[in-house]
Amino acid sequence: MALSEQQKDILRHPVRWFKSHGPEEIPRKELLGILLATVGQSSMFGMAGANWFFHFCTNVLMLDPRIVGVMTGVFPLYDAVVDPVVGVAIDSHQFRDGRKLVPWIRSLAPFAAVTALLLFVSWGFQSVALKALYCIAVYLVWDTLNSFLTTSLSGVTAAISPHSMQRARAVQWQDIGLTIGSFFPELLLPMLSVNQETGKAAFGMSQRQVYLLFGFIMCFAGGLLYLSATGVTERVRNISSGAEKNPFKKFAVLRHNHILLLFVLFDLLRNAAPFISEGFVYQQVSYPWFGGTIKAGTLVTVLVIFAGLPGTGLKFAATKVIEKVGSMKRVLVIAVVTDIACRVAGWAIGIGTIPRLILVFVIEAVNNIPWGVFGIAQKALIADSVDYVEWKTGERTEGVTMSARNLTVKLASAARRFMMGQTLGWLRYDAELVSAGVPQGPIFQKWSWAAYKLGVAGGGLLCLIPLLLLKYPDALKRQVESDLAERRAINIISSKEAPS
């Protein structure tokens, strides 16, 4: 395929292309800063806030999975208090340079990096209560810092431009960063496989040492990558002269944000089903391999990368795909329906042989094509909802909107971890057998694959309901942007005419 003149110019002068941008476009160096910061966010959360922390507690600290499920399942009670406070604090405070989002990232990222690393340090405590208390205390400190960081970084995509398509570009780069960052924690899976003869994981390390190594890479280094976003410009400020003075009433403004509320329901319904993560499934399966055996987890690490390529590649053209499909809502519905179908097909095929495992991941690659655009469409709509609420109420609510979104993600993640703990209990999972390199019992062997594939598929059927209720047509979006542009112009004129 012949290159266009624009593409040839980019190849001849890549530095000039990187620095150049139109009068209303976001500078590419700011988009790169968002991408790198989001890589760090995704890597750190992929370790500390997702299933690997659960896995560390059960397989390294040897805590009962039901205890871990309850322990991590109650964290949202803390988040339910802290996240609204974080959102209100961000919306109520303006720094000396006029920004209200980026300075939080600059101040708190190093501390979050250290506390995330401490989550994966095993101090050799013998008491179950002491182990649990340490995990809870460190997690809550990290969770508080991470709430400020994720809320601020997400809010930047709403404040970076007054134009919805430019915000969508920022969300696009952010989502690419999330995808890149999510790959790195997956490298843990083959590293944790225990050799039955030596009792060691990869390179002669114990699982405890592997987690500490990845804690440095994913958590500490990932946390410092947040600092890449400190050069982003916040181009949209609150223009209302009658803004709400009571800080906690700011959160009540979200009742006008039907877009966000429907996504809250979507995430909770999707995760309210029996579930276990891939780490518990693939470590139990081995295949004949050139006279020996190979763990499914080792093959999966490679297959995950290839399965993710179609969806990842489509992210670079996400805004054009959304325009072709016709609406962001249609993209969301197509992605969920495809996900349900692919999960059911993967369950029916199974992973009894290597060809079947490969076929499952071919289907997963097909699934990732629409799902690769899903996240961008969802986040772009949430960023647009900040404009919608400002249009309705006069309040600009990046802080409380994104903190509510982050709280929803945590609630959904906690619901999934709680369900995973209960599901592992039902399946009679035994971490001692993993340490000994011995397979799990017959109940786990029979039902674990169904729990992994069909649980999320069942949740997907439920979460179609809020998607079908979602309404934010392009005509209304154009009216919102036009009215806000007019209000800002009037506000600028009024501020210039006001006596000093």
- Picking from 179, 182, 188, the residue whose alpha carbon sits closest to that of residue 52 is 188
3-state secondary structure of 294: strand
Alpha carbons 451 and 136: distance in angstroms, whole number? 27
Q: How much is the pLDDT for 70?
A: 82
Q: Which pLDDT value is given to residue 6?
A: 53
Q: Is 286 in a helix, a strand, or coil?
A: strand
In sequence order, which residues have a C-beta less than 8 Å from that of residue 498 and are 6 or more positions away? none
Please tell me the class of the 28-233+247-485 domain.
mainly alpha
What is the pLDDT, as a whole number, of residue 244? 52
Query: What pLDDT score was predicted for residue 134?
Result: 92
417 contacts 54 by C-beta, under 8 angstroms: yes
| pLDDT in the model for residue 220 | 95
The whole-number mean pLDDT for each consecutive block of 10 residues of the chain, a chain of 500 residues, reads: 52 52 78 94 86 85 86 77 86 79 93 94 89 91 92 90 85 87 79 70 80 90 93 76 56 85 88 80 79 78 80 81 83 92 92 88 90 85 89 86 82 79 86 76 87 85 90 87 82 53
pTM: 0.72
pLDDT, position 318: 82
Tell me how many helices (H) and strands (E) the chain has: 23, 2
Helix spans in 394-441 (H): 398-426, 431-435
The pLDDT of residue 142 is 94
447-484 CB burial, b ≥16 within 10 A, e <16: bbbebbbbbbbbbbebbbebbeebebeeeebeebbeeb
